[in-house]
Structure 1
Amino acid sequence: MSALPYTEAPVRHRQGAGDERHRRVLVAVMFFAAMGNGILLTAGVLYFTRSVHLPVQQVGLGFSIAGAFSIGATVLIGHLADRLGARAVCAVVLLTGSAATAAFAFTESFWPFVCVACLSGSARSALPAATGPVVRRYGGERPQSLRAVLRTFFNLGVSIGALVAGVAVQADTRTAYLTAVFVAAACYLLAAALTLLIPPLLPEPAEEGPRWVALRDRPYLVLTGLVGSMGIHYRVLSVAFPLWLVRYTSAPVGLVTVSVLINTAIVVLGQVPISRGVDSPARAGTALLRAGLTFLVACGLMAAAAGPGSWYAVGLLSLGVVVYTVGELWHSAAGTEISYQLAAPQAQGQYLGVFGIGMGIADAIGPVLLVTLCIGWGVAGWFVVGGALALLGLLSPAAVRWAERHR
């Protein structure tokens, strides 16, 4: 695919005085997009079941179809970001997300819901791949610092979006749900408008050889599988933890909300400091090892909270959340470093799209897997999950070294 020329001719790598302002704009773009994500992730299922009145099974099936569709779309959008210019593709992705989210308000049956959910899910999943070349351009001498700041504000945006959605869920009326939907659409629209404040980037020149180079990079694909499989931990606090607390422990239900606040606070305060030390693929491999072992400890603490004794359970679960969040920080920093640094510069978007496949699959199978093991198997299931995450961490340093040798 040939690159489309721009009337402007921005410089690709030179750092200028305006770069700091453009970095701040990029942070704002990610923040408002994350707010939209947080609203939809928190209120989306309830909106379609309680306001649109679709059966729960249809809603679950529709979101699963959308998740599978978005996996393939992410790779394609990442490739387009490389070949057509990342800023333009990023703006189109956000505009698509805004339009699809607003269309939720007019969706009243299953197949229109599936179509709109596919567009909305693809926009959310493809955003990291679409913005990847922009982050690389404005990362400066320490790109990991910019990526850490972006992750911090992304998590903050998701949390604020969840609070906005919580108001709608608490009211539990169609008006409240529709308001949440339109606020989410407005967040995506604002993020799209902000991208216009970033200068257009020249498309990356296509090199001779296969077009889909990321799909032929076996070491990168292996790391995608390892990091993505470890990503099932992202569903621990949203799926396994609440069910475990209610069914197996004596801790008060309010601890679920407290755990989210603890997790968010640690992520917001700790992501940048942790990421400063993960500034190479080798250190990222070590961080994945630490993350896997940390998850094992966290799973053990949560498993030990089963049984009587509310204060005993509160203490162990709270400590488990803190330890788990430290592992999340290691995993997030390592995954971002690997996904960028081991990607071919001329195909950064495509590589990030491929990397997103692993996380997308983990996000799809994570809830079912965690419910089956942690809730169905009980204490033993927690140790199986923790052991599997630790094993993935142990395999990661060797996989990183292999990828670096074939870089």
Structure 2
Amino acid sequence: MWLTIRPSTRPSTPLSPESRDRIVSRFFAALPPVGPQRVLTLITAASAVFSGIYLSTVVLYFTRIVHISPMRVGIGLSVAGAVSIVVSILAGKLSDRRGPLGVLRVSLIFAACGTLGFLTVGEFAWYLVVIPATAAAQTCVQLMISTIINRVVTERANEFRAYIRSILNVGIAIGIGLSAVAVQWDSANFYHAAIVIGAGCVAGAALLVGRLPALGPVALEPGAGGQRWAVLRDRPYLALTVLDGVLSLQYRIQSVAIPLWIIGATTAPRWSIAAIDMLNIVIVVFFQVRASRNVATARAGGAALRRAGWAFLLACIVLAAAEGQSGWLAVLTLASGAAVLSVGELWQTAGGFEVSNALAPPEAIGEYLGVFGTGLRLADALGPALLTWLCIGIGVAGWYVAGLILLAAGLLAPVIVAKAESRRDGHTLVAAS
């Protein structure tokens, strides 16, 4: 035998203190150095685990355990999406005026309380209160993390944002894995345990906020104090928000169009849906930092968005080619298309992060990022219906149309970035004179 068990007079321990110390030291060695970046990483990881649990359990828990009809669950999620858009914009403005730490702490507390509120839902009316509150809090958490990064990370911020994106995906994957137990057993007790774990994660993150350096209101530049909602007059920035929202349809291709395409247009095994999701997570986790390394200016961000548009078009063409295929040929075609889609996601994430931050004035960073995030929220709200109609209802031609829409958004991005930079430079010259 390759393994033998030798008797010992000493009680055996599954893990020695030295081994535990070695594991702990390796864990912390993978984190940024002690300081704000490490705290932000831990907060992101905790909130991401919560997000994974939330995304994986909310629909099944409320339909199978609470017995709310699927249609009503969908209505609640749509309401939650609309509320999240409004609240994120207001939260961004509030963080500029009061500082982001308080908004982050309150958002984490609301997320914890809202998640625990799942356990008290017994009717649709209360569900319509709990779900929007939790979803809005979750949205504000991610917005405040981005805002704080702008305030405390001064060197290689683009790489740190990419690192945070990777941590976010790892945390979501862990949360989904924890939820899989509840989904598999389909038991109220397991669902309740997953919900409590999710609430505990964001509650723990709220405790970590106090370890971040104090961040007061942003310093207003001379003459800027009277400008209210300046972002609404910044047409190039609003245009970029719309373009990023169009490009963000790719997330719904991953989560909605591909699974329906696999089931309806191919005979690929259903496990390939989960395999493609894991492929996306692996690509993002391992390559997001590398893809973001040279995206350090708004112009480079616009170029990255253009590359993303081309990648999304190619991905749609390859995914459309899977129609009618079966077995391993279908799996390989779908995996190839999904891999190209994930590469496009790397470029879109890097480009979107850079242009949204580089083109936002420091005195209104929260306000601008709050508005920029509405593009993604609108894609979340409108994307499933649009892509189901194009890719599933129309078929192969619909995939081509979807790809061309994404390409058009990518090609327009560098043009709008150039206009935004010209506008910013013009305002700088006026202020200097």
- 2:144 pairs with one of 116, 124, 130: 130
Partner of 1:12: none
Aligned pairs for 1:333-372 within 5 A: 333-372=350-389
- 1:243 pairs with one of 241, 251, 260: 260
Partner of 1:282: 299
* Residues 1:30 and 2:47 aligned together: no
**What do you get for the CA RMSD once the two structures are aligned?**
1.3
Count of aligned pairs: 390
Partner of 2:393: 376
- 1:229 pairs with one of 222, 243, 246: 246
1:209 CA displacement: 2.3
Q: C-alpha separation between the residues in 2 aligned to 1:186 and 1:208?
A: 40
Partner of 2:196: 182
Structure 1 outlier segments of 4+, above 6 Å = none
1:277 CA displacement: 1.4
Q: C-alpha separation between the residues in 2 aligned to 1:205 and 1:324?
A: 40
SS of the residue corresponding to residue 306 of structure 1 reads coil
Please list every run of 5 or more consecutive structure 1 residues that lacks an aligned counterpart in the other structure. 1-17
Partner of 1:253: 270
Q: Contact 1:128–1:352 at 8 Å: present in 2 too?
A: no
1:126 CA displacement: 1.6
Q: Which amino acid aligns with 1:185?
A: A
Q: Which amino acid aligns with 1:200?
A: A
Aligned pairs for 1:6-405 within 5 A: 20-206=34-220, 207-405=224-422
1:123 CA displacement: 0.8
SS of the residue corresponding to residue 268 of structure 2 reads coil
Q: Contact 1:230–1:392 at 8 Å: present in 2 too?
A: yes
Q: Contact 1:88–1:200 at 8 Å: present in 2 too?
A: no
1:135-194 per-position Cα deviation (integer Å, ceiling 9, x unaligned) = 012212211111111111011111111111111111111111111111111111111111
1:338 CA displacement: 1.1
Q: C-alpha separation between the residues in 2 aligned to 1:126 and 1:202?
A: 18
Q: Contact 2:261–2:391 at 8 Å: present in 1 too?
A: yes
SS of the residue corresponding to residue 184 of structure 2 reads helix
SS of the residue corresponding to residue 406 of structure 1 reads helix
Q: C-alpha separation between the residues in 1 aligned to 2:157 and 2:326?
A: 47
SS of the residue corresponding to residue 196 of structure 1 reads helix
1:336 CA displacement: 0.7
Q: Which amino acid aligns with 1:340?
A: N
Q: Which amino acid aligns with 2:239?
A: V
1:197 CA displacement: 1.1
Q: C-alpha separation between the residues in 1 aligned to 2:55 and 2:118?
A: 13
TM-score by length of 1: 0.93
1:20 CA displacement: 4.8
1:309 CA displacement: 3.2
Query: Kindly tell me: are residues 253 and 19 of structure 1, through their superposed partners in 2, closer, same or farther at Cα, counting changes over 3 Å?
Result: closer
1:229-248 per-position Cα deviation (integer Å, ceiling 9, x unaligned) = 11011111211111111111
Q: Contact 2:307–2:344 at 8 Å: present in 1 too?
A: yes
1:19 CA displacement: 7.8
Q: Contact 2:147–2:369 at 8 Å: present in 1 too?
A: no
Q: Percent of pairs identical after alignment?
A: 42
1:79-129 per-position Cα deviation (integer Å, ceiling 9, x unaligned) = 111111111211111111111111011011112111111111111112232
1:308 CA displacement: 3.6
Structure with greater contact order relative to length (CA < 8 Å, sep ≥ 6): 1
SS of the residue corresponding to residue 35 of structure 2 reads helix
1:292-337 per-position Cα deviation (integer Å, ceiling 9, x unaligned) = 1101111111110111432221111111111110000000111111
Q: C-alpha separation between the residues in 2 aligned to 1:27 and 1:62?
A: 31
Q: Which amino acid aligns with 2:216?
A: L
